[in-house]
A and B are shown apart, each in its own frame.
Chain A
Amino acid sequence: MPPRPSATPVGEFELLVLLATLSLRDGAYPLSIARDIEGRTGRRAARGAVLITLERLEEKDLVSSRYGDPTPERGGRPKRFFQVNARGKRAVRAALDRIETMTTGLEAVLKPRSR
């Protein structure tokens, strides 16, 4: 029997972007995603880097994008909203599973590093 096709592997920053996109639901566009990541992790996320990652994810068919309506504070330009599709969600779950699997039994080792 052939092995089941595994979900598309994603990198760490990709995972962060995917998670932020999921949590922002309908309001996920590069700027808000960058703000979300920065706000929650304290890690610097450049808008450009987020956009490129999103485009790469789109090419891998993990997210899709649509254009919103132009708004005045954006100089009359539309937002590009991103949404995680089913494959994307599967990839996120698989990535989290992998991390969970790998962290099992390491609780004691990892404990001292408190936040």
Chain B
Amino acid sequence: MMPVPSGALVWLLRLVSSRDAAHAVVGDACEELSERRSSGHAPRRPALWINLQIARAIGAAVLAGLPRGVRSSGLLLRDAVRTLRGAPSHALFVVLVLAVGITAGTVAFSVVDAVLLKPLPVDQPHELVTISGPDFKRRITPEQYWQIRDHLGSVDALAGRSMYTGSTVTVGSVTAEGSVISASADIFRLLRWSPAIGRFWTAEDDARGETDVAVLGYRFWRERFHGDASVLGERVTVGDLTRTYRVIGVLPEASDRPELDLTSAPLWIPMAVPRSGTGYWGGILARMKPGVSVAQVASDVERIVATPGWRPVVTPLLDGYVSGVRRWMLLALGAAGLVVLIACVNAANLMLTRSSGRSQELAVRASLGASRRRLAATLLAEGLLLSFSATICALLAATAGVHFARTAITAMLPGVFRASTISLNGRVLAAAAAAAVVTGILVSLVPAWQTSRAPLSSLLKDATAASTGRRRWRSAFLVTEIATVVVLLVVSWLFVVSLIKVVGLDLGIERANLIAVSPRMEFQGSVDEVKSRLDVLPGVSSVAVSIGASTPLIGRAFHGAWGTTTLRRADAPAGADGAPPVSALDYRVTSNYFDVAGIRFRRGHTWPVEPEFNSTAVVLDEQAARQLFGDVDPLGLTLRRSDPDGIYTVVGTVPHVYSRGPEETGPPSAYFAMRPNPARKFASLLVKTSKPADEMLPLVNHALKSLAPRTPPSEPFVFLADDAVKVITATRRFNAGLMSAFGLVGVLIGAAGVYAVMASFVVQQTREIGVRLALGATPLRIQRSVLAQAWRHLLAGLAIGVPIAWWLSRGFTSLLFQVSGTDASVYLGVSTVLMLVGVVAAWVPARRAANVDPLTSLRQG
């Protein structure tokens, strides 16, 4: 009985040799086995023996095949290197184009990966959600918090938490500045931490009212206490508060993630949410049960809270950190993808141009016995060699690029989540390597396919036979490339226009030479003293004081509160349907505020300085005036304000001030006279300078040194209005810069593509051009016909690219400002730019065509 060899081994053997050869080998083994049996030397386990024989044959075949494969790849590689060395500028250009594309892709992917894609460094981060909703802190009472806490079945754990940044923390004899997190006891179970030393507070501690305990952050403990366990029991104070806490534990090492503010605070204290009444508590963090969806949690919370008209917002924790940047970062990644696409198509085109020039060389090699497969393999090897060189260049460039991106993002866009962790990581490297291989194959696929397909006789006879087909491919590639450039250009155009509109918007205040003294806490002296010090400072022209709502722009860019008041027409009875109340920012200012801030009066004027104490004057911005009084001239009309109640007379109207920057719609503003109060210690001051404000900034700081608020010294309280605008528009500027960089690279590569293709067309048509010239065509006509070819490609590219761009632009309308993807002007601009660039790129080949010498060209043919 003949044993049956393992099917898998036979299959492997067939893989490394051939079907028949494998059969013959197995047959030999079988025959030897039967021979051994008849001679009495049969192996003890025939099946094992026969499989061993096959395994040996596989090994031998692999070993025998390996040097051959290596040898022939070596030859291929040598050929490829020689060919590329033969045309170094061409090879260099292909490598450069590919490297630019891959670098753009790698850098963009690195940034997006680090900021958006990496999971949060906590256990099962996708289960963590925050629960909030519109006007959350006012609409949801502590009582409702407890209802959610006790009855929400779709979550495993739920904790209230809030964070105080920039606090001064004293633990024993150590004082540090940092964040303090106040959280309910479940936070530790929710984050799945157990203490490094000591213990965490528990829900029972909270319930008993034992909330004078504290837990230290791991890094803080390591760095400031050198990991000493004797820190347990130390006294803790926060800021100037008289309340003291006692250290009971330290967070585990797993919490030490500096990029995540959720976990990196040096001090954690209990949050005691009262069972009833009112009281401040922060947001809700929850861990969903496995398999539960965000929507399910939201509907459960809505049912429990049962507040009509209020819908909770449940967001995955990561979303809360990255929602602000997600859309534009993905868009940037998309734009980088387009750059990669353009680069690849361009490289493919360049390869095609080259291979059509080499048709005859390839034909000669074919006639000398090189197989089609071998020729195709040569082209493939060239493509891979080029793309691997490009990848190496790109990785070097990307290392620098990622470093640059990290520096640029952390400097220009403070607050981008995890920006400091941006780095070239393994995933990115793998993506880049894959890009290179795919590019290499793509780049050489078409030439290789064409070479292996064209009949040999025609290849030998005339290069043009094969190149007609190739020309069609090149046209198709060029049109694809132009279409992609169009899309990229439209996107970057939209962003640049948005930036121009944002920067050009009249914010309602004159921010040149404007300094704001805007502290977070009280001055160490009266506001009047602060003002008088500023008044006498050389270079200061005038100083205004405001309380109530925060200084425009500064409050948005740095810190601030937006106190509002409710206004009604005084002639309308309260609560009447006819006169809905208007909510307006509640500014209480000195009468020179408008002058200092550069707010120009539309109607009326400010109130006189003297009777400020009893002034009932109010200045409204146009929006508030229109909402209250419609189109009637509001001057002299009266209104009633709430909290504190009072009747005020409108003395003037001013334009709307974009307090929260150009892109956010805030409520309208109402300006009341500020009552003088010598004891006042908290206010914001606006300072108009006659010298450049940035020179005045250190002087102002110096003058106020002894009166500076008791905030940490690193926290500024004097700001330039210009800086505030810079902070507010930082993302916008960064996006526009990034997009225009991508657009520029795209246009440059595209122009190079047009040039290369047109140049190769001209070379191919030299003979035809010679004939036409000989038959009397003028050089100008020839030149025009080459340009017309370029135009045809450009028009075709526009025809494809514009609808795609139009369709795509609807996806990111929310990222644009006062411009949309449907604006005809955008497409007009892009078309003009593209046509101009295309014609310039085609100009040189066209000139070359016109200068063809008919005699030479005819002889060449």
Chain A residues within 8 Å of B, Cβ to Cβ: 29-31, 47-49, 51-52, 55-56, 59, 67, 70-71, 73-75, 77-80
Contacts and interface: CB of A to CB of B under 8 A. Distances in A.
Nearest to A66: B20
B57 interface: yes
Contacts of A29: 24, 28
A55 B27 CA distance: 17
Nearest to B23: A77
A48 to B, nearest CB: 5
B571 to A, nearest CB: 107
B26 interface: yes
B263 to A, nearest CB: 63
Nearest to B59: A48
Given A48-B57, A52-B64, A55-B64, A31 B31 contact: yes
5 contacts: A31-B31, A47-B28, A67-B23, A74-B27, A75-B30
B615 interface: no
A75 B28 contact: no
Contacts of A52: 60-61, 64
B259 interface: no
A70 B23 CA distance: 9
A55 B20 CA distance: 14
Nearest to B5: A75
Contact of A78 (B23, B32, B64): B23
Contacts of B27: 70-71, 74-75, 77-79
B241 interface: no
A56 B64 contact: yes
Given A78-B27, A80-B21, A51 B57 contact: yes
Contact of A77 (B30, B32, B53): B30
Contact of A48 (B34, B56, B68): B56
Instruction: Give 9 nearest A-B pairs by CB, closest first.
Output: A77-B27, A80-B24, A74-B27, A75-B30, A77-B23, A31-B28, A75-B2, A74-B30, A74-B31
Given A30-B24, A47-B28, 14 more contacts: A47-B32, A48-B56, A48-B60, A55-B64, A56-B64, A59-B68, A71-B27, A74-B27, A75-B26, A75-B27, A77-B27, A79-B24, A80-B20, A80-B25
A67 B24 contact: yes
Contacts of A67: 20, 23-24
Contact of A73 (B24, B25, B34, B68): B34
Given A48-B60, A52-B60, A31 B32 contact: yes
A56 B32 CA distance: 23
Contacts of B32: 31, 47
Residue from B21, B28, B30 whose CB has the most chain A CB atoms within 10 Å: B28
Nearest to A74: B27
Determine the main DSSP class of A at the interface with B: helix
A29 B53 CA distance: 16
B859 to A, nearest CB: 37
Interface string B53-70: 100110011001000100
B279 to A, nearest CB: 86
B199 to A, nearest CB: 70
B56 to A, nearest CB: 5
Nearest to B32: A31
Identify the interface centre among A48, A79, A80: most chain B CB within 10 Å of its CB. A48
Contacts of B31: 31, 73-74
Contacts of B34: 73
A51 B2 contact: no
Contacts of B29: 47
A39 to B, nearest CB: 13
Contacts of B26: 75, 77
Given A75-B2, A80-B20, A51 B30 contact: no
B28 A74 contact: yes
A77 B24 contact: yes
Contacts of B24: 29-30, 67, 77-80
Interface in B1-54: 2, 20-21, 23-32, 34, 53
A59 B30 CA distance: 26
Contacts of A51: 25, 28, 57, 60
A78 B29 CA distance: 12
Contacts of B20: 67, 78, 80
A80 B26 CA distance: 11
Nearest to A46: B56
A30 B68 CA distance: 22
Nearest to A55: B64
A67 B27 CA distance: 11
Contacts of A47: 28-29, 32, 53
* Highest count of chain B CB atoms <10 Å: which of A29, A51, A67, A71: A51
Contacts of A71: 27
A80 B2 CA distance: 20
B21 to A, nearest CB: 6
Contacts of A59: 68
A79 B68 CA distance: 25
Contacts of A80: 20-21, 24-25, 28
A91 to B, nearest CB: 20
A48 B58 CA distance: 10
A73 B29 CA distance: 10
Contacts of A79: 24, 27-28
Nearest to B26: A77
Contacts of B53: 47-48
A29 B26 CA distance: 13
B34 to A, nearest CB: 5
Contacts of A77: 23-24, 26-27, 30
Interface in B127-155: none
Nearest to B31: A74
Contacts of A78: 20, 23-24, 27
A49 B63 CA distance: 12
A49 B582 CA distance: 97
Contacts of B21: 80
Interface string B585-622: 00000000000000000000000000000000000000
B51 to A, nearest CB: 13
A30 B28 contact: yes
B357 to A, nearest CB: 35
Nearest to B64: A52
A77 B30 CA distance: 9
B534 to A, nearest CB: 94
A29 B30 CA distance: 14
Nearest to A68: B24
A67 to B, nearest CB: 5
Interface string B237-252: 0000000000000000
A70 B53 CA distance: 19
